[in-house]
Amino acid sequence: MSATRQPSSRTCFVCGRENILGLRARFTGDLAAGEVRTTVVVPEAMNGYPGTVHGGILGALLDETAVRTALLEGGFDDLMVTGRLSVTYKRPTPTETPLTVVARLEKRAGARATASAEVRLPDGTVTATAEVLLFKPPREVASAWEAERSHWKVDQDG
């Protein structure tokens, strides 16, 4: 896989470099494969039941990874937002375990795109999947992001 690190924001719950309560996920994109991935360990403090990742946390990981497929051929100006996120929980996902989240760009047409995503355990078992509909945000929404543009970068901490 010819992977390229994707930038992160400062404050995002999933990828924010400075969000002390967040997951600090780091993403790589593979344009040839049409795929984005990350590996994270979700702490026990983010459980829904003891030893099991909260479904909302899984939804956030699937959502963020899918949204990042829109960045495979672009940058900050290509950011999209989620219009619909349909998650299927297949089995409990353990906390304190390396989870790999993989998303694929299925189709892109102008201001819309569709992506699929899945959460995998170290042995490859899929615990959750998502189908995601993405949109270019309205101009007034995207313009509010301008203050973050200079902070949208690849961090140096791996």
Which residues of the chain are under the pLDDT cut of 50? Answer: 1, 158
Residue 79 confidence (pLDDT): 87
Six token digits for residue 22 = 């967040």
pLDDT of residue 157: 57
Q: Return the pLDDT at 60.
A: 98
Q: Are 119 and 101 spatial neighbours (Cβ–Cβ below 8 Å)? A: yes
Query: What is the CATH topology of the domain spanning 4-144?
Result: Thiol Ester Dehydrase; Chain A (3.10.129)
83-106 residue pLDDT tens: 999 999 999 999 999 999 999 999
pLDDT for 23 equals 96
